[in-house]
Amino acid sequence: LVNLLAIQVAMEARESDGHEEVASKGETTACAVGCPADTEMAGRAAVCQGCPGRELCSRLVGQADPDQPAIDIRMKACRRKVVVVSGKGGVGKSSIAANLAIALAMKGLKVGVCDLDICGPSMPTILSVCDQQVINTQYGWTPLKSPHCGIKVMSIGSLLDDGSSAVVWRGPRKTEIIKRFLKDTFWGRLDYLIFDTPPGTSDEHLAVVGALKSARLDGAVVVGSPQLLALDTVRKEMTFCRKMGVKVLGLVENMSGFACPCCEEVTALFDSGGVQRLSEESNIPLLGTIPIDTRLCSCEEEGTNLLSTHPDSSAAVALKSLADNLEAVLD
Task: Dump pLDDT digits (tens) for 18-45.
Answer: 443 333 333 333 344 467 766 777 778 8
pLDDT at 7 over 70: no
What pLDDT does 103 receive? 97
pLDDT at 26: 34
pLDDT at residue 196 is higher than 70 = yes
Q: What is the pLDDT of residue 206?
A: 87
pLDDT the model gives residue 79: 96
Q: How far apart are CA 220 and CA 84, in angstroms?
A: 6
Q: Given 3-state DSSP classes, what are the helix, strand and coil percentages for the chain, each rounded to the nearest 5? A: 40, 20, 45
Give the pLDDT score at 132.
Answer: 92
Question: How far does Cα 330 stand from its chain's mean position?
Answer: 18
Cβ pair 30, 242 in contact under 8 A:
no
Answer yes or no: are the C-beta atoms of 249 and 287 closer than 8 Å. Answer: yes
Q: Per residue in 150-187, pLDDT tens?
A: 999 999 988 877 767 777 777 788 888 999 999 999 99
Q: Any idea which of 19-33, 196-210, 221-235 has the lowest mean pLDDT?
A: 19-33
Q: Using CA atoms, how far apart are residues 201 and 209, in angstroms rounded to an integer?
A: 11
Q: Give the chain's mean pLDDT.
A: 84
